[in-house]
Amino acid sequence: MSDLFQASLSELMRQLDRRACSAEEVVSDLLARMESSRDRLNAYVSIDAENALQQARAVDTARAAGKQGALLGLPIAVKDVLNVKDQPCHCASRILEGYRAPYDATAIARLREAGAVFVGRTNMDEFAMGSTNENSAFGPVRNPWNADYVPGGSSGGSAAAVAGGAAIAALGTDTGGSIRQPASFCGCVGLKPSYGRVSRYGLTAFASSLDQIGPMTRTVEDACLLLGVMAGRDPMDATSMDADVPDYAATLTGDLKGMRLGLPKDYFSDGMDSEVEQAVRIAVDRCAGLGAEIVEVALPHTEYAIATYYIIATAEASANLARFDGVRYGAREQGADPLDMYGKTRAARFGPEVKRRILLGTYVLSSGYYDAYYLRAQKVRTLIRRDFESVFKQCDALLTPVAPTTAYRLGEKTNDPIRMYLGDIYTVTANLAGICGLSVPCGFSEAGLPIGLQVLGPAFGEDAILRVGHAYEQATDWHQRRPAL
């Protein structure tokens, strides 16, 4: 095994272009790394080695014939919630055992057209419901920096694979922080695009007004590369926006001159680890040194974000997951009649966290409680969005922590879901408002666990947050550090 698996997408593309290596060599090297780290990380639910090698050989033949593509020959891992034709899509749940996708999600189709090679499906919290990747029918993912700690969730498999060298890049999904928080816990780059920037067609929905597909990579440049391919209007998704897709790489100037960056005082609250606050404040100072003007701003409705999010998200989940009943997809338990079969299938096949959220969502949508909970939460959501709209009239982007803590031990919060939910306080607001967010590594705790800096931008302002993240990344070496596996 060589060290090709340690390179970034952009570095590999340059090597492939000058024929320093072949796509088959890249994929073979990565597959060996995936296999050697499989037991320690549990980052993958399935690895399709033979198919990946066939894809790579086809790419090498196409390259020899003069074909070009933005991702031609680059290997990508896919979170187990996105449909890839002829591959299983279990959503890390027992209820979808035996299901194979009959089509490509739009994001997958666009990556395939650009020449990407799909190497495997990454582990996740069941139906993307969780912050630790412990809610998986395939067992918990482990943090590559310390196997006794969680990688974050729900895209924990993608984050652990990228940080641990078992993926060059991966796709994740973000409903309330599920790309940014595991990126912070594992020490990689995670981008949540604006709602409507990337088509959700082919994504198994958790909460349809909050979900977004995004890249998890080793560098901001790589995130630009993947976003540029996936972004854009899709007639199969009515919520995707017909907005211009910039050349994101062209916005990476390396400095922050002329930019005004906001520091929300509401995000530096009680309960944040001192190590996290110190690392983020040092990162803010570094951004100031790169030419940015730092201004303090207020987002006064932040304190209501967790309650608002867990009402809206669970309500939408209860509706979206009603389709998994043992009739149309996946596994089925036998029952005396259809109603008995529905109940037995869902009781046996859904995990406890999914059941908890379905029950909560059904409750807040029920007669007599709709106005008191769901309707009121939607009104608060509007106030949170208006907070951001007001702030972005004053500044180009915001700098915040990603999470109030670093990664914690496996099992530490399993029996305290409320405590776990509160860890999403700095990420759920972006989903409620529909804006974009980026996590970049900005330090380590004394225990050797990564810390992330979050950059938030206005809706369809990915160019601004990518510029900030890249400039900070180039001025530091946090993103170059690798766990010793």
Q: Which of 138, 141, 177 is nearest to 161 (CA)?
A: 141
Cα torsion through 152, 88, 5, 197, rounded to 10:
-60
Instruction: Please check the confidence at residue 188 and state whether its pLDDT lies above 80.
Output: yes
Percent of the chain topping pLDDT 70: 100
- Angle (CA) 306-307-313 rounded to 5° is 85
Position 414 scores a pLDDT of 86
Mean pLDDT (whole number) for 321-347: 93
Percent of the chain topping pLDDT 90: 94
Mean pLDDT (whole number) for 456-472: 98
State pLDDT tens for residues 258-270: 999 999 999 997 8
Residues 6+ apart with CB under 8 A from 5: 29, 30, 32, 33, 165, 166, 168
> For the residues of 70-120, what is the DSSP string, one character each?
TTTT-EEEEETTB--TTSB--TT-GGGTT-B-SS--HHHHHHHHTT-EEEE
**Is residue 212 classed as helix, strand or coil in its secondary structure?**
coil
Mean pLDDT (whole number) for 6-26: 95
Give CA–CA dist 347/358, Å, rounded.
12
Please answer whether residues 166 and 143 qualify as being in contact, where contact means their C-beta atoms are separated by less than 8 angstroms.
no
Q: Domains plus CATH for the chain?
A: 4-300+386-480 (3.90.1300.10)
Give CA–CA dist 180/188, Å, rounded.
9
Which tokens is 252 given? 């990476």
Give CA–CA dist 407/283, Å, rounded.
19
Mean pLDDT (whole number) for 252-278: 94
This prediction's pTM: 0.97
Please answer whether residues 129 and 135 qualify as being in contact, where contact means their C-beta atoms are separated by less than 8 angstroms.
yes
- How many CB atoms sit inside 10 A of residue 45's CB? 23
Give CA–CA dist 319/335, Å, rounded.
23
Instruction: Please check the confidence at residue 1 and state whether its pLDDT lies above 60.
Output: no
Instruction: Please check the confidence at residue 182 and state whether its pLDDT lies above 80.
Output: yes
Please answer whether residues 44 and 157 qualify as being in contact, where contact means their C-beta atoms are separated by less than 8 angstroms.
yes
State pLDDT tens for residues 107-148: 999 999 999 999 999 999 999 999 999 999 999 999 999 999
Position 2 scores a pLDDT of 65
Please answer whether residues 357 and 314 qualify as being in contact, where contact means their C-beta atoms are separated by less than 8 angstroms.
yes
Least confident window among 356-360, 412-416, 441-445, 466-470? 412-416
Which tokens is 424 given? 């999403």
Please answer whether residues 453 and 278 qualify as being in contact, where contact means their C-beta atoms are separated by less than 8 angstroms.
no
Q: Distances from the Cα of 220 to the Cαs of 223, 447, 473, 479, 480, in angstroms?
A: 5, 26, 8, 10, 12
φ, ψ dihedrals at 172, nearest 5°:
-130, 180
Give CA–CA dist 89/98, Å, rounded.
9
Q: Tokens 């060059």 map to which residue?
A: 168
Please answer whether residues 26 and 75 qualify as being in contact, where contact means their C-beta atoms are separated by less than 8 angstroms.
yes
Cα torsion through 156, 122, 202, 88, rounded to 10:
-140
Q: Which one has a higher pLDDT value, 262 or 330? A: 262
Least confident window among 126-130, 149-153, 242-246, 327-331? 327-331
Please answer whether residues 150 and 407 qualify as being in contact, where contact means their C-beta atoms are separated by less than 8 angstroms.
yes
Position 139 scores a pLDDT of 97
Average pLDDT, the chain: 96
Position 250 scores a pLDDT of 94
Instruction: Please check the confidence at residue 425 and state whether its pLDDT lies above 70.
Output: yes
In a 10 Å sphere around its CB, with 0-12 CB exposed, 13-18 middle and 19+ buried, how is residue 23 labelled?
Answer: buried
By annotation, the residues acting in catalysis are: 79, 154, 178
Position 5 scores a pLDDT of 86
Q: Distances from the Cα of 441 to the Cαs of 157, 177, 222, 279, 473, in angstroms?
A: 18, 15, 14, 10, 8
